Structure 1
């Protein structure tokens, strides 16, 4: 059972992640890396939307339907986009290597916090 210390630690990690993303924009006067925060903010939405209709209603089977798989796929697309976007921007010369490193590190912290929150506070379907 997760407690208050877990919530405080997750909030600290989330704040550090967003701080790194914002600093990667503000320190180098280029606001393109802020798109990483948008993609990581949208990343859990497909799983949340598709989870409602993701499992079959049959009590004898515990199989997933295509909705859950589509939610996982769309979440993976958003996470890979969030990781690859700063690399592509740095390769194109739009942002610097330091801004890319800060943006990728901040994005990993943000999505890692989302995954950890779902792990600690997710609902178990055990009866």
Structure 2
């Protein structure tokens, strides 16, 4: 389908996809900061540590031929899956623990979790964009 379009139109569509990713990531950052600023409590910023740690196993351990969605006998791929999963769970667990301890309120928890899901949506869109065989930016 994309091969039938003129080059300038394809470039415009890909630029729009990148703009969508930028809007999603900046929306997640805004929600993260608002969760702290609106409630005058900066403890929810602990989640940023997990957001930084989340892609690290994928960058360091996963080879270019390894797929995280398939079964593998490679121990490095299994370690990558484990560490990525632990970081993803930590991104949800930190705000939940803070709420349970009474450090943050329900509004901050809701904004933190919505920020997480916006970031996950951005990652899913990025993965989907990289599946296009005629365009890749990573």
- With structure 1 as the length reference, what TM-score do the two structures score? 0.81
Match of 2:50 among 35, 39, 42: 39
Q: Distance in 2 between matches of 1:92 and 1:63?
A: 39
Counterpart of 2:19 in structure 1 is: 8
CA-based RMSD of the aligned residues comes to 2.3
Match of 2:121 among 112, 117, 123: 112
| 1:19-40 CA distance string (max 9 Å, x none) | 0010000111111111212212
- Give 1:123 shift: 8.7
Counterpart of 1:70 in structure 2 is: 79
Taking structure 1 as reference, are residues 123 and 4 closer, same or farther at Cα in structure 2, changes over 3 Å only?
Answer: closer
Match of 1:25 among 23, 36, 51: 36
Contact 2:50–2:87 (CA under 8 A) maintained in structure 1:
yes
Q: Distance in 1 between matches of 2:53 and 2:132?
A: 21
Q: Distance in 1 between matches of 2:100 and 2:61?
A: 35
- What is the aligned length? 118
| 1:10-57 CA distance string (max 9 Å, x none) | 1101111110010000111111111212212220110121112875xx
Contact 2:92–2:113 (CA under 8 A) maintained in structure 1:
yes
Q: Any runs of at least 4 consecutive aligned residues in structure 1 with deviations exceeding 4 A, and if so which? A: none
Unaligned residue ranges in structure 1 (runs of 5+): 56-61
Unaligned residue ranges in structure 2 (runs of 5+): 3-12, 134-138
Match of 2:103 among 90, 94, 97: 94
